[in-house]
Amino acid sequence: MTTAEPLILGIESSCDETGIGIVRGTELLTNTVSSSMDEHVRFGGVIPEIASRAHLEAFVPTLQAALTDADVSLAEIDAIAVTAGPGLSGALMVGVSAAKALAVATGKPLYAINHLVAHVGVGLIGRPPAGGLPPALGALLVSGGHTEILRVVDIAGDVDLLGSTIDDAAGEAYDKTARILGLGYPGGPAIDRLAADGDPKAIRFPRGLSQPKYMGTAEVPGPHRYDWSFSGLKTAVARSVEQYEAAGLDVPVADIAASFQEAVVDIITAKAVLACTEHGITELLLGGGVAANRRLRELTQERCEAAGITLTVPPIPLCTDNGAMVAALGAQLVMSGRSPSGIAFGTDPSLPVTTVVLPKV
């Protein structure tokens, strides 16, 4: 197996995207994605059983398309990487089962990797293979299922969780708020578009866990200094809508959308930059599906520049769930000499971010 610039096949199936990515070292050869999102729209969210069946139907065609696009064969692949968690249990099982079948059929080593750390690994695409990660790297992951700030010492095995949401993820809050405002699913893009026509200062919505009792100080940190909470914000939006309706007034949907979005991105960026400055992090990677949000990218850039932090944001297609990020992390594991996971491992829907790759059972 080539370990200098290994050819890695990555498989992602943690939610509603069937992703196959192929990288050679840090060079992206293909990022092929089949999404089942349209099948979930009428339900207002992802239905696990529908997502699992969609993965079953999409896997082989997506794999064939990826191999064709990258102009490689399975025989040329050096190793396979697959998301083992976190994610939806049934969806993960489809991808892992497919990866195990390919590993057995081809004799290729298999790496069972962490979906969240893969969002960090995708930031290495396009960098020189020997360059690796900067020594003081942080990652802000904002998606439908996760909102976390990480410190990455070694992407192959040393990742620390500094803070996370204690209830709803930011993307989940967007979806629920969009439902309240009658905007449909997915909520993130809908609110982002509508917010452009609204006043972000029209309503001062709460910033969760920002009070002194939660924040504390740098010397004596509070219990949730780097954590977030969005459930109260969602409730505040609902109460605001109810007040307008009770008064017989038109609901200012654009203003509410803009004010909600400002509350989300304000607290996310403020706490992320605080965590970076207090932990010596000088480069921050923004990833996850919500990283496509216009205002989040804008405010994160603004606050990072003010704090002397270099911000890296992957192209939008690489922010959302995809196989390229799985392949990218798999390549880092191979190049660092990490042992493969074998085929006896199971999926872990709650896999902690501190576990980068599952060990061989």
Does the annotation list 142 as a binding residue? yes
123 is in an annotated binding site: no
Please classify residue 266 by burial: count the beta carbons closer than 10 Å to its beta carbon, then call 0-12 exposed, 13-18 middle and 19+ buried. Answer: middle
| Beta-carbon contacts of residue 172 (< 8 Å; ≥ 6 apart) | 144, 145, 230
**CA pair distance 120, 318, nearest whole angstrom:** 11
Looking up tokens 């370990």 gives: 3
* 71 marked as part of a ligand binding site: no
Q: Is the peptide bond prior to 200 cis by the omega test (within 30 degrees of 0)?
A: no
The tokens for 28 are 């992206």
Instruction: Check the annotation: does 36 bind a ligand.
Output: no
**Cα separation, 361 vs 351, whole angstroms:** 16
Q: Rounded to whole angstroms, how far apart are CA atoms 309 and 234?
A: 31
350 is in an annotated binding site: no
**Adjacency order of strands within the sheet including 79-85:** 27-35, 17-24, 7-12, 79-85, 110-114
Determine the length of the chain: 361
Q: Is 175 annotated as a binding residue?
A: yes
Q: Which of 84, 192, 150 is nearest to 286 (CA)?
A: 150
Whether 157 has a binding-site annotation, put simply, is: no
CA 135, 4, 139 angle in degrees (round to 5)?
30
137-142 and 147-154: which strand pairing?
Answer: antiparallel
Contact assessment for residue 136 and residue 162, using Cβ atoms and an 8 Å cutoff:
no
Q: Which two tokens mark 22? A: 């192929």
Q: Is 229 annotated as a binding residue?
A: no
Structural contact between residues 315 and 96, judged by C-beta atoms closer than 8 angstroms:
no
Is 119 annotated to bind a ligand? Reply is: yes
115 annotated as a binding-site residue = yes
Which residues fall in the annotated binding site for substrate? 141-145, 175, 188, 192, 293
Which residues fall in the annotated binding site? 115, 119, 141-145, 175, 188, 192, 293, 321
Which residues fall in the annotated binding site for Fe cation? 115, 119, 321
